[in-house]
Amino acid sequence: MRPFLLARASRALLVLAALSSFGTLAAAQCPAPDAFEPNDTCATAAFLSDGVHAATLVANETDHYRVTVPAFGRVDFEVNTPNTKVSLWSDAACSVPHEAWGPWSEAIWIRHAYNNSAVAVDLYLTVEHYGFPAVCKNYWVEVDFDHPTNCVDPAREDAYAPNQDYASAAAIAPGFHQLFMNWFTPDYYRITVPAGESVDVLLDAWGLYVTVLLFDDSAGGTLIDSSINDTGALFHWLNTTSQSVDLVLSCEMYYGGDCVSYRLTVDRSDLVQTVCAGDGVTGIGAGPVPCPCGNTGALGHGCANSASAQGAALSAVGPPGFDNANFAFTCTGGVPGQPAILLQGTAVTALPFKDGVLCVGGSTERMQIGAIDGSGTWSSVGDEAAQGNVSTPGSVRFYQLWFRDPQPNSPCGQGSTFSSGLRVIWH
């Protein structure tokens, strides 16, 4: 049984216990007034505390009750009284309706109310005859403040509220998030996916029966994916554009109760990422590998060379797609005018070699041979995927630029060095 059903069952047992003792009490009450009298006006409203209260609705009268709701609190009301109108008021004159319930012919109704302010407030409950004003009725009222405090009203369910519509979608970062939602009150979240990155969104709402939708906000709110079930949803999306894209995720529970917890995990992956460098920080396995002669480069760069104390950094322009003609590798910080070779490997390594750190391993290929320009920049040309014999989506390859650094100026005197190394996930 789900937690909210267990809670409801426990409360039902308490009510049944109260009613069993109330049976003899009720027979003794009508037509006599109960202990809450006089409470026939709002000014004389009887205070109700947390718990189950037996009462009598005398013929041709209306009972008034006052309940104090804590700041940002919630109160649940349960009333057993057929053919009765029940109302809730926000002021001591009972002139400003908070919410009206009824008239009802049912034996039991259940409602809740919220205090959205930072101070405690009094609400006024009225119970009046409907249809049979001359009949005396015994009934009970339950007031319950025992509810989760994480979720106090639709506008303050958790730290991301209010986020109940598309326009108010709350920005949410990668990571694990414990969240709360109310029945038929959707939550909206905004997820930013940089160019060339993918995102996995896992919404775990087991047993809650939820509708989960994913929209592309950059395309005018176009629906990308959807899921309707009692477990949640798992979405994967890849940004193949050259710009950051905002996705909007909505989740609405259509069965499960109020203030229910669920979990949202956002995992964003770089399709292109620096995984090896000569900066003394970036490394694999046991950690960074030092440059051969202490010629450490800048963060994300290769080892320092004769033209750049920062070292050479390899980067990529555009997402690495088979159908993306605009994708290219670019290296900055190289030695001007020197020949260079783009290396590709099926594995990453980190070995001091020549004047730098070799990052490309496994099955390797020499893809392109060119020259570094006068500013120390080199760029690839053509179809890199085809040149590297990569044709399967999801293939992972590693890239690095190897270039000459002639003696006697090269830091370690070995005559060549390397840029930083990239991992690329092709799609």
Tell me if 307 sits within 8 A of 350, measured CB to CB.
no
Is pTM beyond 0.85? Reply is no
Domain formed by 3-144, architecture: Sandwich (2.60)
Task: Give CA angle at 243 (391, 385), nearest 5°.
Answer: 15
Average pLDDT over residues 251-266: 77
Q: Which residue has the higher pLDDT, 384 or 19?
A: 384
Mean predicted lDDT score pLDDT of the chain: 81
- The third-level CATH classification (topology) of the domain covering 166-270 is Jelly Rolls (2.60.120)
Q: With bands split at pLDDT 50, 70 and 90, how would you rate the model's confidence at 205?
A: confident
Q: With bands split at pLDDT 50, 70 and 90, how would you rate the model's confidence at 25?
A: very low
- With 70 as the cut, is the pLDDT of residue 256 above it? no
Shared fold status for 3-144 and 166-270 = yes
Average pLDDT over residues 185-202: 86
Beta strands in 239-376 (DSSP E): 245-253, 260-270, 272-276, 313-317, 328-332, 339-353, 356-371
CA distance 74 to 145: 6
At residue 177, the pLDDT reads 86
At residue 391, the pLDDT reads 86
Q: Which residue has the higher pLDDT, 367 or 106?
A: 367
Q: Which residue has the higher pLDDT, 412 or 163?
A: 412
At residue 174, the pLDDT reads 86
At residue 101, the pLDDT reads 52
Q: Which residue has the higher pLDDT, 337 or 407?
A: 337
At residue 58, the pLDDT reads 77
CA distance 213 to 252: 9
At residue 5, the pLDDT reads 31
At residue 337, the pLDDT reads 97
- With 80 as the cut, is the pLDDT of residue 1 above it? no
Q: With bands split at pLDDT 50, 70 and 90, how would you rate the model's confidence at 84?
A: confident
CA distances from 160 to 169, 213, 247 (A): 9, 18, 16
In the chain, where the domains are located: 3-144, 166-270, 272-425
